[in-house]
Amino acid sequence: MLEAIYAAFSHGWDEAFSDDPRGRDLSGEAIWLGRLVVSLAPGEPEAQGLLALMLYADARRAARRDPSGRYVPLSEQDCSSWDAAAIDEAEQLLRLASGAKAPGRFQLEAAVQSAHVARRATGATDWEAIGHIYEALDRMTGSPVVAVNRAAAVAHTHGPKAGLALLDAVAGEKLEGFEPYWVARADLSAKAGDVEGARKAYAIAIGLQTDAAARDFLAARLAALA
């Protein structure tokens, strides 16, 4: 059930700026369902973790676009535009869940988001901590998607070549159509000095991206390689 709610939220997140309200409003419905589950099962830490995860993400909804409608990546978002009340609620839920001493996937994913939003107070992102959380998630789930996120985090603290090595370790059929994998590979290849590799990866990522603003952002990154 939690997986289904999160799938609905993720679809709504992807459609947040579309013209179709059927997809655009789905994340709000998923948060409502998450609150319902927490109220019905107040002792379930993974339900609390899922609700926290959704609230952390939804708190940054408006910051994903600038006033002109251009895509803004998380690292460049203005923290002051995040929804402080939603973040505070998510932090409280995550602390409550952690008291059960029964860590799970949604709690760990929420912990990653908590580390990101801590930038509001510190002015910097603790990539070392994020890398450790993704390492724990990787051991728990064995998900290649988690491995991609871990590679990106590790690259921030140990350099692009370390991140690329982790990407190479999980490369395969399952990730061929996963746009974030190609974005991470393009970014790290560029930082490692492999301009041609970055160009190829950006071209694939652009072809897979369905959001026009995000696609324009990637095209600008590709053009900047010249």
Domain ranges of the chain: 1-120
With a pLDDT cut of 70, the percent of the chain lying above it is 97
Token pair listed for 192: 């490692």
Say what the pLDDT of residue 16 is. Answer: 74
Place 78 in a pLDDT band, splitting at 50, 70 and 90. very high
Phi, psi (degrees; rounded to nearest 5) at 134:
-65, -35
Averaged confidence pLDDT in the chain: 94
Token pair listed for 142: 């064995």
Query: Beta-carbon neighbour count of residue 74 at 10 Å?
Result: 14
Say what the pLDDT of residue 167 is. Answer: 96
pTM of structure: 0.93
Say what the pLDDT of residue 37 is. Answer: 98
The CA distance from 23 to 10, in Å, is 10
| Three-state secondary-structure class, residue 125 | coil
Residue among 27, 29, 50, 28 nearest 110 (CA) = 50
Place 14 in a pLDDT band, splitting at 50, 70 and 90. confident
The CA distance from 186 to 70, in Å, is 20
- 52 HSE (CA, 13 A, CB side): 30
Question: How big is the chain, counted in residues?
Answer: 226
The CA distance from 63 to 85, in Å, is 15
CB 71 within 8 A of CB 220: no
pLDDT digits (tens, 9 = 90+) for 32-61: 999 999 999 999 999 999 999 999 999 999
